[in-house]
Amino acid sequence: MNQTATGPDRIAAKLAADLDAGFAALFEAHQHVLFSTALRICGRWADAEDLTATAFLRAFRALSGYDRERIAALRTRPWLLTILLNAWRNQVRTAARQPREVLDAEPPEAEARGASVEAQAERHETSRELAAMAVPAPGRLLDKVAARWTRVPGPAGDVYVATTDLGVAYLRTAGTAEEFAGLFRARFGRPLLPASRPPAGLLTALRTGRAGRIPLDLRDLTPFAASVLAAAMTIPRGETRPYGWIARQAGRPRAVRAAASALAANPVPLLIPCHRIVQADGAAGGYVFGSPRKEALLRHEGANLDEVRDLAAAGTRYLASDTTGVVCFPSCRNARRITPLHRRGFASLAAAGRSGFRPCLHCQP
C-alpha cells in the first residue's frame, strides 16, 4: 500500500520529482490491481490487457499536463481506477453495446449506486476485495505503454533512439537525454525509460544507410505521410530524387508542399532516408537536422550533388542514353554510367519522350 487514508502518496511524490522514473514506479505498484479490475469488467484477457494499457497511457498524458503540486496531491490508486473505468465506459459507448462477457460481479461502480466513480474507487482502495481478486498482469504490459531510449553513434554524430513494442518510433540527434525525452513525450504522449541495449540491427542500419528489416513504429502517421515515407525508403544510397517525384509516388503529384511537410516530420530520419529528397535544381533543401548536415550525409553516401547542380544550372534536369533509349534523373545509377559520347540532356521528361526516350524503371522519373 502506497498511502493511508490521510497520509501522503509516495508514488505521487516520485512522479512530481521525475515524471518518467515516477511513472515506472506507478506502473510497478498498480499494474496488477488495474489489470485485475480490467479483467473483471471485460471478461477477456486480451481486452483487459488493452484496457489497462489505455488507462496507463491516459494517466501519463494527464500527468504531463499537471503541475508538480497537483501531481503530489494525487491518491494514485483511486485516480488510476477512475481513469480505467472511464476508459472502459468510453469503449462501451463507442461500440454502442455492453461487453459480451462480464465476470461474476457487476463493475465496481455498480456496488455503490449514486456515488461518484472517485468515491467508489477509494472504497476499493481501502477494502481487501481488490487484493483478493488480484491477477498478475502480463509481463509484456509495460512495453505496450512505455518506450525505451538509447544513445548510439550515427553517420553525423550520436543520436537518441526511442523504441516501442512495435519497433523504432523516434530518432533525433543528441542533445541531452532530458531534451530528447521532452520531444518524445510532446509528440507521442508516452513515458520513456532507459533501454539496456540498442535494438538488433540498428547500428548496422545507421552505418550503412539501409534500414533493412528493422521494425518501425509508424502507427501515428496519416495515410499520406506514410505513403511519402514509404516512397523515401525506396531511394538507394548515393542517389537523390526531387520533391515533385515523391509527391507523385505518394499519389498526390500536386501536393509538393504537403510532401515536404511529411518529410520534415519524419519520426525516424536516417532509417527512413528523407535526406535523399532534394530540390529540383539540386540544392539540398530543408532537413530536420539542418541543411549542412543533409548535404554532408549525401556526400558521405556518394551522391553527385555538384554534377546535378551544374546540370540544372545549364537547364538539364534529365539525362538520357542514346544506346539504351532510357531517360533518368542525373543522380540515378544508370545515368551515371552513361558515357559523354552517348549522353543527351533534357529540360523536361516530356521533351525526352518526344525524342523517343522512355523513363528509367529504376529511378522512375
155-212 tens-digit pLDDT: 888 999 999 999 999 999 978 999 999 999 999 999 999 999 999 999 999 988 888 7
Backbone dihedral angles phi then psi of residue 358, each to the nearest 5 degrees: -110, 150
The verdict on 137 and 152 lying in the same domain is no
Is 240 a member of any domain?
Answer: yes
Dihedral (CA of 22, 28, 32, 33) sign: negative
Q: Which domain range does residue 57 map to?
A: 10-141
**What integer pLDDT is reported at residue 128 of this predicted model?**
44
Cα–Cα distances (Å) from 149 to 19, 45, 125, 146, 195, in that order, read 15, 29, 34, 10, 5
Please give the Cα distance from 191 to 182 (Å, whole number): 10
The verdict on 179 and 266 lying in the same domain is no
Backbone dihedral angles phi then psi of residue 356, each to the nearest 5 degrees: 95, 10
Beta-carbon-side half-sphere exposure of residue 259 (alpha carbons within 13 Å): 26
The verdict on 17 and 119 lying in the same domain is yes
CB atoms within 10 A of CB 41: 23
Backbone dihedral angles phi then psi of residue 152, each to the nearest 5 degrees: -140, 160
CB atoms within 10 A of CB 165: 17
- Note if the pTM is more than 0.75: yes
Number of domains in the chain: 4
The verdict on 78 and 109 lying in the same domain is yes
Is 114 a member of any domain?
Answer: yes
Please give the Cα distance from 245 to 278 (Å, whole number): 10
Is 101 a member of any domain?
Answer: yes
The verdict on 64 and 109 lying in the same domain is yes
Tens of each residue's pLDDT in the chain, 365 residues: 454 444 458 999 999 999 999 999 999 999 999 999 999 998 899 999 999 999 999 999 999 999 999 999 999 999 999 999 999 999 888 876 554 544 443 444 434 344 444 454 445 444 445 444 567 888 889 999 999 999 999 988 899 999 999 999 999 997 899 999 999 999 999 999 999 999 999 999 998 888 878 999 999 999 999 999 999 999 999 999 999 999 999 999 999 999 999 999 999 999 999 999 999 898 999 999 999 999 999 999 999 999 999 999 999 999 999 999 999 999 999 999 999 999 999 999 999 999 999 999 999 99
**What integer pLDDT is reported at residue 133 of this predicted model?**
56
Q: Which residue has the cell 509527391?
A: 247
Is 4 a member of any domain?
Answer: no
C-alpha cell at 347: 529540360
Residue 225 region by backbone torsions, left for phi larger than 0, else alpha for psi between -120 and 50, else beta: alpha
The verdict on 235 and 248 lying in the same domain is yes
223 - beta bridge partners? Answer: none
**What integer pLDDT is reported at residue 105 of this predicted model?**
37
Is 276 a member of any domain?
Answer: yes
Degrees to nearest 5, angle at CA 308 with 305 and 313: 125
**What integer pLDDT is reported at residue 100 of this predicted model?**
54
Which positions are annotated as active-site residues?
274
